[in-house]
Amino acid sequence: QQQVKQSPQSLIVQKGGISIINCAYENTAFDYFPWYQQFPGKGPALLIAIRPDVSEKKEGRFTISFNKSAKQFSLHIMDSQPGDSATYFCAASSPGGGNKLTFGTGTQLKVEL
């Protein structure tokens, strides 16, 4: 059972454009929603995270938008750069349960010059 659905699977954006990746979840007990960034040959690394008490969080060019009623959240990358080319994973976890993160299926982003 895929509890976190992520789309699109791949995305090509021109340099300077906006990259948008969407995720939807089913488990209403989820209360922590991070995004991880993975470069080839490396492990994923935390990019930005949000809790459901806010609808938006911004860190530099990266913004998470969160819609609790729709059970959806998205990552927006403003002014996308070639260095942003990576695989992005959304994830979610619920209180307790050993900090278990359920990951989305990943989005391969390519930013072209």
Choice between 67 and 105, CB closer to another protein: 105
Looking at residue 112, its amino acid is E
Least distance (Å) between residue 108 CB and another protein: 8
Choice between 73 and 106, CB closer to another protein: 106
- Give the pair of three-digit tokens for residue 81: 């750069």
Least distance (Å) between residue 46 CB and another protein: 5
Query: Under the rule (CB under 8 A), what is the footprint of another protein?
Result: 32, 34, 36, 38, 41-46, 49, 87, 89, 93, 95-103, 105-106, 108
- Give the pair of three-digit tokens for residue 63: 């913004």
Nearest to 70 by CA among 28, 20, 112: 28
Return d(Cα 57, Cα 50) in angstroms, integer. Answer: 7
Choice between 69 and 96, CB closer to another protein: 96
Report CA 84 to chain centroid distance, whole Å: 13
Least distance (Å) between residue 65 CB and another protein: 21
